Amino acid sequence: MREKHSFSSKCKNLFFKLKNKINTFKNREKKPHPHLDRAVVIMNKYSLVFHLLLSCFLVLVIECISRRNVLSAFSFIAGHTIAYLYNSFIIFASLSLVYLIRRRTLARLLISGFWLFLGTINGVILSKRVTPFGFTDLKCLSDLFAMQNTKYFTFGEALAVIIVVGLFLLFCIWLFIKGPKYQGKINWIVSPLMVAVIFLMLPVTTKAAQSNNIVASYFANIAQGYENYGFVYGFSSSVVDRGMSKPDSYSEERIAKIGASVPEETTEAAEDTPNIIVVLLESFVDPSDVKFLQTSEDPVPNFHNLLNNYSSGYLKVPVVGAGTANTEFEVLTGMSMQYFGTGEYPYKTTLKEIDSCESIASDLGSLGYGTHVVHNNGGNFYSRANAFSLMGFDSFTSKECMNIQEYTPLGSWPTDNILINETLKAMDSTPDQSDLVYTITVQGHGDYPTEKILENPEIAVSGAADEASNNRWEYYINMIHEVDKFIGNLTEELSKRDEKTIVVFFGDHLPTMGLTDDDMVSGDIFKTKYVTWNNFDLPKQDADCAAYELLANITNQLDIHKGTMFSYIQSQKGSASYDENLENLQYDLLYGKRYAYKGTDKYPASNLVMGIDDVTINSVWKSDDNKLCIYGSGFTPWTKIYVNGEKVSTSFLGSTMLKINLDDIEDGDTIVANIVGSSSTIFRSSNEFLYEDPDIEDTEEPTTETEQPSTDTEGSTQTTEKSTEQSSEQSLSGAGTATDQSVEHTVNTPLTQN
């Protein structure tokens, strides 16, 4: 009884102590610092004036961060004063939300912090590339984190962002607990009405600003648009202006009229149709097109040889410094980026909302072509695996399906020579068909270091403004010198094959070097070059064109007339209503009723297969170091072992050998080797292998002739394959058996996720 009374007394004492602490805490909250209290009173009394001044100040700070120069920010204000005030009004409108809550100081801090955070992100991004930060970039966050081993961002930068954001949030939490509250009465009729009026003024003022050329509704040059009209407007327009607007003239009758103007498609599948290889050269510029550059020798002799002897020309691309996927979209679909929103990536927006997208792959596929993509970067980057499936490609060999061993001097990107064999392998996978292979290089990709990396470069470079710039150019020029060797090696290998083949090489955009129109021989930073090669004496026909017209021109030379967009471009380019009809067709296929298809599902998405080589598990064997060796074929550095459907730690020892810990597997477990992309996407799977522990069931020991595979990743394939073959011949009956499972994994929308 005494113990019970003692426990009850302790509980009461604890309760009263807690109550006193809460009351003390509440009393503290009600007594803010006198200076802060005075400031809050002034802010609330003159809140509209304060918000106006705060908005102007925030825009100034954001522009200083974005331009990385205070003088440039003031120059923007002086030269584009009304645009500056319009940017301030956008922030002013967002600050009006504080009138709906009592914790107004906290709300002002959060809103101001939000805009400053966006401006800081833009400043950081502009230090890495030319294209400023837009809303669509938020859809690429998964791609960014998948590329954490590149020079896009460093661990230190990521840590700094986390610390700053963390401290800001902690301060906001403190302010929420101890900060002042508005003590006046909120009029729930006037306050919401005032906020609504301010926000309704936004579209009105935007329309007026656009009509008076204060800001533009469309940025042909996104970087220049942000420069002229301010970050706040540029980013805001990327939020609200997405997708395509319905053309005023769009109708079923209009699409029918456009279709009637295009000659009937007469191209049929034929045995002698040539292979078409389309090669995107990442960040490639002809060095002779940059006025100030001087090099010790021609860095791109193979490119210049093709330029002089085969069809070539300037290519008008939609991006500069970044945005490969948008040039790619134009080239493959025949559709123009000018009809989309500011900074938009259709791969990340439009192609996530539709079930198919007509492209050169689906057009040529209907003629019997095998259609393939080869790229030495991640399959999920820019959501490419999804996009290529919608476009009708048969296979996609991404880096995860390659045994990549060589990287650039910075270790940022794989070198491109591996693409030669992978391109030929894709062609050989369909021996009875002509092939379309779209090959994407990556070696020329930035970032380019300001410090000297190459001690003895093959090509010496001079002419840049300072030593740091010269180091960047020297590194870049030597990387595209290697790309030029790839061009020569690829055409040499193709010339050995007894197949009619045409290759189209094109640069997707200029490198991130701060080039201006005045720096370029072409006078336009949105112009790259394309060159071709063929082995069947196709006449040289030089012509400049837009990226979305490139393959229409090439297929026209080949007398291939197929596809909604490409047939239209071939027959109507140069006509009076060319652009308007192009916009109507594009809208019809992506957002409209698809009147052009006349009610049929003309070009459905494909069951995209990742990679060409099968992944196979043949046998397993216990090693002396408490590991299980898995022998098979088709393994890459991105192959992971799954035991009973769960991924386990896997060591890659070569294309025919993997290792896992014995602790991760037991007798009777099933083993599958999966090629895994970012976000644990399973791209391709092996057969299912049943593991039988030899310590539980008697097994034969391996003969003394069994050669242990080399653990040296590079150059280990031959030894490993020999070991695998010997191990298979010995049966290893106690080690396990392979069950009859498909070794091929197809990708459809959505991709299989783990």
Q: CATH number for the domain including 696?
A: 2.60.40.10
Compute the C-alpha angle 203/205/206, nearest 5°. Answer: 60
Tell me if 129 is assigned to some domain: yes
Q: H or E element: which one contains 683?
A: strand 682-685
Whether residues 539 and 686 share a domain: the answer is no
CA 283 to chain centre: 14
pLDDT one-digit tens code per residue, 389-416? 999 999 999 999 999 999 999 998 999 9
User: For the chain, what's the residue count?
Assistant: 754
pLDDT at 177: 77
Whether residues 165 and 65 share a domain: the answer is yes
pLDDT of 728 over the 60 cut: no
Tell me if 471 is assigned to some domain: yes
CA separation for the pair 389, 377 (Å, rounded): 17
412, 154 Cβ separation under 8 angstroms:
no
User: How many other C-beta atoms lie within 10 A of the C-beta of residue 691?
Assistant: 21
The answer to whether the bond into 511 is cis (omega within 30° of 0) is no
Output the CA–CA distances (angstroms, integers) from residue 3 to 7, 8, 13, 16, 348, in the order listed.
6, 9, 15, 20, 68
Lowest mean pLDDT among 83-97, 266-280, 510-524: 266-280
Phi, psi of 654 (to 5 degrees): 150, 175
Whether residues 233 and 282 share a domain: the answer is no
pLDDT at 312: 98
Whether residues 522 and 637 share a domain: the answer is no
pLDDT of 185 over the 80 cut: no
Tell me if 105 is assigned to some domain: yes
Tell me if 19 is assigned to some domain: no
pLDDT of 713 over the 80 cut: no
Lowest mean pLDDT among 87-101, 186-200, 445-459: 186-200
120, 157 Cβ separation under 8 angstroms:
no
pLDDT one-digit tens code per residue, 306-362? 999 999 999 999 998 888 999 999 999 999 999 998 888 899 889 999 999 999 999
Tokens matching residue 165:
């954001």
Single out the residue in 240, 268, 297 at which a domain terminates: 240
Whether residues 123 and 201 share a domain: the answer is yes
Tell me if 400 is assigned to some domain: yes
Mean pLDDT of the chain: 85
Lowest mean pLDDT among 61-70, 137-146, 494-503, 658-667: 137-146
Tell me if 579 is assigned to some domain: no
Residue 658 forms beta bridges with which residues?
Answer: 630, 652
Tell me if 224 is assigned to some domain: yes
Of residues 126, 605, 599, the one with CA closest to residue 322? 126
pLDDT at 29: 46
pLDDT of 721 over the 60 cut: no
Tell me if 308 is assigned to some domain: yes
pLDDT one-digit tens code per residue, 213-237? 899 887 767 777 888 999 999 999 8
Residue 281 forms beta bridges with which residues?
Answer: 507
Output the CA–CA distances (angstroms, integers) from residue 603 to 42, 235, 571, 597, 600, in the order listed.
65, 35, 21, 9, 9
pLDDT at 152: 52
Tokens matching residue 13:
């004492």
Residue 370 forms beta bridges with which residues?
Answer: 435
Q: H or E element: which one contains 425?
A: helix 418-428
Whether residues 375 and 519 share a domain: the answer is yes
Whether residues 414 and 538 share a domain: the answer is yes
pLDDT of 707 over the 50 cut: no
Domain holding 639, by residue range, is: 613-747
pLDDT of 574 over the 70 cut: yes
Whether residues 283 and 234 share a domain: the answer is no
Neighbouring residues of 317: CB distance < 8 A, sequence distance ≥ 6: 327, 330, 507, 508, 509, 526, 527, 528, 547
382, 282 Cβ separation under 8 angstroms:
no
pLDDT at 213: 87
Of residues 618, 594, 614, the one with CA closest to residue 604? 594
Q: Which residue has 């035991």 as its token pair?
A: 643
pLDDT one-digit tens code per residue, 236-250? 988 888 889 999 999
Could you give the 3-state DSSP secondary structure of residue 333?
Answer: helix
User: How many other C-beta atoms lie within 10 A of the C-beta of residue 554?
Assistant: 23
pLDDT one-digit tens code per residue, 189-211? 888 999 999 999 999 999 999 98
Tally DSSP H helices, then E strands, for the chain.
22, 22
Average pLDDT over every residue of 737-752: 42
Average pLDDT over every residue of 522-527: 95
Whether residues 324 and 448 share a domain: the answer is yes
Count up the domains in the chain and report the number.
3
pLDDT at 731: 32
Whether residues 331 and 395 share a domain: the answer is yes
Q: What percent of the chain has pLDDT over 70?
A: 82
Could you give the 3-state DSSP secondary structure of residue 732?
Answer: coil
pLDDT of 641 over the 60 cut: yes
pLDDT of 522 over the 50 cut: yes
Of residues 464, 126, 482, the one with CA closest to residue 281? 482
Single out the residue in 560, 589, 621 at which a domain terminates: 560
Whether residues 339 and 218 share a domain: the answer is no
Query: What type of residue is 326?
Result: N
pLDDT one-digit tens code per residue, 267-293? 555 567 999 999 999 999 999 999 999
pLDDT at 47: 82
| pTM of the predicted structure, to 2 decimals | 0.80
User: Which residue pairs from 460-463 have beta carbons closer than 8 angstroms and sit at least 24 positions apart in sequence?
Assistant: 460/295, 460/296, 461/293, 461/294, 461/295, 461/296, 462/294, 463/292, 463/293, 463/294
CA separation for the pair 697, 486 (Å, rounded): 53
Of residues 378, 391, 309, the one with CA closest to residue 350? 391
pLDDT of 748 over the 50 cut: no
CA separation for the pair 63, 72 (Å, rounded): 8
CA separation for the pair 652, 661 (Å, rounded): 13
295: domain CATH number is 3.40.720.10
Whether residues 377 and 305 share a domain: the answer is yes
627, 693 Cβ separation under 8 angstroms:
no
Give the pLDDT band of residue 181 (cuts 50, 70, 90).
Answer: confident
254, 352 Cβ separation under 8 angstroms:
no
